[in-house]
Chain A
Amino acid sequence: SQTIHQWPATLVQPVGSPLSLECTVEGTSNPNLYWYRQAAGRGLQLLFYSVGIGQISSEVPQNLSASRPQDRQFILSSKKLLLSDSGFYLCAWGDSSQSVGGQETQYFGPGTRLLVL
């Protein structure tokens, strides 16, 4: 079966410091990968998605970037964190081979809570 991992689970970082959050998927190949941010008490905001190695699409302009160095690895980064980067970051994968009419189901990791002070 497929599993998705995220780490770290919790992170406290000072303003201006760099960031690297990692997401890996097991048990599938060539998944679509997603990074979402969830601000406190709010819904999910899609940040980035990737359909393959080195292919990244950004949904909103921001202080963050994403990379996909391997098929099942998705990394969210920042060179200098802002206070507004605080939130709950969720990675998700979708199996495009199981899609119906182009629509897939997304499965989420456990999330990383980031607090920027």
Chain B
Amino acid sequence: AQSVTQPDIHITVSEGASLELRCNYSYGATPYLFWYVQSPGQGLQLLLKYFSGDTLVQGIKGFEAEFKRSQSSFNLRKPSVHWSDAAEYFCAVGGTGGFKTIFGAGTRLFVKA
């Protein structure tokens, strides 16, 4: 069965510092991978997705993620964090049919001045 693990419940980084949020997945075939961001009290916004091709995926708001099949990982990165990036981030993995997208428990990002 497919699953997603986000090992960090919360992370604190200083504004201007680099960021990496970890995501590990379990899926028997080629995974379809997503990162979403959720601001407090809001819905989820799609940051980026990986279906195939280049393993380094660029997204909105300056985020990127790298698919590493050998490590079953899809980590999200940003070179310089802004205070407005404080939010909760969800990694998700999808299988065939689209109906069984599984979301990780989320990582809450705090940004300190």
Contact = CB atoms under 8 A, between A and B. Distances in A.
Binding between chains A and B: yes
Interface of A: 6, 32, 42-44, 46, 49, 51, 57, 90, 92, 94, 96, 99-111, 113
B41 A103 contact: no
B76 to A, nearest CB: 16
A40 B32 CA distance: 27
Contacts, number: 59
23 contacts: A32-B98, A42-B105, A46-B101, A49-B99, A51-B99, A57-B99, A94-B98, A99-B98, A100-B32, A100-B52, A101-B30, A101-B51, A101-B96, A103-B32, A103-B98, A105-B49, A106-B98, A106-B101, A107-B46, A108-B44, A110-B43, A111-B41, A111-B42
Contacts of B45: 108
A96 B101 CA distance: 13
B98 A108 contact: no
A71 to B, nearest CB: 17
Contacts of B101: 46, 106
Interface of B: 30, 32, 34, 36, 41-46, 49, 51-52, 90, 94-99, 101, 103-106
Nearest to B49: A105
Contacts of B30: 101
Nearest to A51: B99
